[in-house]
C-alpha cells in the first residue's frame, strides 16, 4: 500500500515517525512535515515556551548536532529516519495549492494519514487517495475537537485522556470515528508528559485499520454526535493560569530532558549531560523572554558544540 504520512516538523513529529515507520516497512511510504506557526504562539508566554521546546530547541540546535555524528541515539532525527527507513521526508507550507496537489496526484497514495499535521486538507486533496484521509487526533472526539485537547482534558479534571482515529471530511475533526484509545491522566506528568503516549495509542489503532484493509474488511466507522461536538482554540493566558491552579504544569522539564536524551548518542550524552539536564533547559527556556530565541540558541550551541 502507498501511504502518505503527514506529521509536524517538531519533536513529537519525530517521535511519531520513530514509532510508526518500523511498522510500515511492508508499505511504500512518503512523509510530509508541516511547518506552521500561529500568531497566538508568539503572544502567550506559555505558547512561546512551548514553541521553543517543541520546535526551536530540537530543530535548530539538537537535531543538527546529532546529525553531525555517525552514532545514533535511541530515537532518530528526521534525517536519521529518512536514512534508516529509506523514506522521502520533506517539509511543506501549503498542502492544498496546485504544486502540492500535483505532487500528491503523481505519487497516487492509497491512503493519507495525518498525525499532528497542523494543515487542513481541502476537497481537492481529500478526493485523491482511494481509501481517503485518516487523522490521529490527540483528544476524545466529539468532545475535544480542535487544539490542545490534552491540556483541555487535564484542565477539566478528566480521569482519562483519549486519542481518536477518524476519517477526514469537510469539517475540522468532524469525520466518522474508527476508534478512540484512552490512557489514565497523570496530572503530575504535566500536559507535555501525555502527548507522545496519546499519539502512540492512535498509531496502534492506525495499524488495526491497515490490517482491516489488508484483510479485505470494510472499516467500521461511527458518525459523530453533533450535539456532543466541542471545538477548542489555542489556550490563552487565563487557561494556563487555571491549569496551574489545578496543580498541572504545561511542561515537566524532567520529562522533556529525558526525551531530548533519547535522541543523543550515549557517548555524546555522557559528555553533554550537564548542558542537557532539566534545570539547564528550563533556564534556557525562561531566558528567551528577555534575550530572544536566537540569542539563547546561540549560547547553548556554543556550549554543546564543544562536546559534539
pLDDT at position 11, please? 98
Give the mean model confidence (pLDDT) for residues 280-303.
Answer: 97
Looking at the domain covering 2-305, what would its CATH class be?
Answer: alpha beta
Which residues make Cβ contacts (< 8 Å) with residue 130, sequence separation at least 6?
110, 111
pLDDT tens, residue by residue, 231-246: 999 999 999 999 999 9
pLDDT cut 90: percent of the chain above it: 95
- Mean pLDDT value of segment 56-81: 97
The DSSP bridge partners found for residue 258 are: none
Distance CA 300, CA 297 (A): 5
pTM of the model: 0.97
Which runs of E-coded beta strand occur in the chain? 2-8, 28-34, 88-92, 111-115, 133-137, 145-146, 160-167, 177-184, 231-232
pLDDT digits (tens, 9 = 90+) for 103-162: 999 999 999 999 999 999 999 999 999 999 999 999 999 999 999 999 999 999 999 999
- β-pair partners for 115: 136
> In the structure, what pLDDT confidence band is assigned to residue 36 with cuts at 50, 70 and 90?
confident
Measure the CA–CA gap between 81 and 72, rounded to whole angstroms: 11
Give burial (CB, 10 Å; 0-12/13-18/19+) of 212: middle
In the chain, where are the structural domains located?
2-305
Query: Residue 17: which of 28, 1, 6, 3 has the closest Cα?
Result: 6
Amino acid at each position: 500500500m502507498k501511504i502518505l504520512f503527514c506529521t509536524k516538523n517538531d519533536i513529537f513529529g519525530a517521535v511519531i515517525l520513530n514509532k510508526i515507520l518500523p511498522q510500515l516497512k511492508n508499505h511504500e511510504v512518503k512523509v510530509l512535515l508541516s511547518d506552521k506557526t500561529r500568531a497566538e504562539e508568539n503572544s502567550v508566554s506559555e505558547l512561546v515556551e512551548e514553541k521553543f521546546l517543541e520546535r526551536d530547541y530540537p530543530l535548530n540546535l539538537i537535531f543538527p548536532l546529532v546529525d553531525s555524528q555517525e552514532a545514533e541515539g535511541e530515537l532518530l532525527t528526521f534525517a536519521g529516519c529518512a536514512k534508516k527507513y529509506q523514506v522521502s521526508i520533506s517539509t511543506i507550507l501549503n498542502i492544498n495549492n496546485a504544486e502540492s496537489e500535483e505532487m500528491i496526484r503523481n505519487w497516487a497514495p492509497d491512503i493519507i494519514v495525518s498525525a499532528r499535521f497542523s494543515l487542513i486538507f481541502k476537497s481537492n486533496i481529500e478526493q485523491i487517495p482511494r481509501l481517503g484521509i485518516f487523522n490521529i487526533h490527540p483528544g476524545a472526539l466529539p468532545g475535544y475537537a480542535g487544539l490542545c485537547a490534552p491540556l483541555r482534558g487535564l484542565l477539566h479534571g478528566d480521569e482519562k485522556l483519549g486519542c481518536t482515529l477518524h476519517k477526514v471530511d469537510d469539517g475540522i475533526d468532524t469525520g466518522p470515528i474508527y476508534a478512540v484509545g484512552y490512557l489514565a491522566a497523570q496530572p503530575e506528568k504535566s500536559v507535555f508528559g501525555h502527548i507522545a503516549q496519546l499519539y502512540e495509542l492512535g498509531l496502534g489503532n492506525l495499524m488495526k485499520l491497515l490490517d482491516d484493509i489488508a484483510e479485505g474488511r470494510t472499516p467500521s466507522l461511527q458518525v459523530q454526535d453533533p450535539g456532543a461536538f466541542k471545538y477548542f482554540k489555542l489556550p490563552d493566558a487565563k487557561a494556563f493560569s487555571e491549569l496551574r491552579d489545578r496543580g498541572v504544569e504545561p511542561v515537566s522539564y524532567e520529562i522533556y530532558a529525558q526525551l531530548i536524551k533519547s535522541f543523543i548518542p550515549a557517548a555524546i550524552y555522557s559528555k553533554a549531560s550537564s548542558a542537557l539536564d532539566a534545570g539547564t533547559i528550563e533556564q534556557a527556556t525562561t531566558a528567551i523572554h528577555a534575550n530572544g530565541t536566537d540569542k539563547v540558541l546561540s549560547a547553548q550551541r556554543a556550549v554543546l558544540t564543544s562536546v559534539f
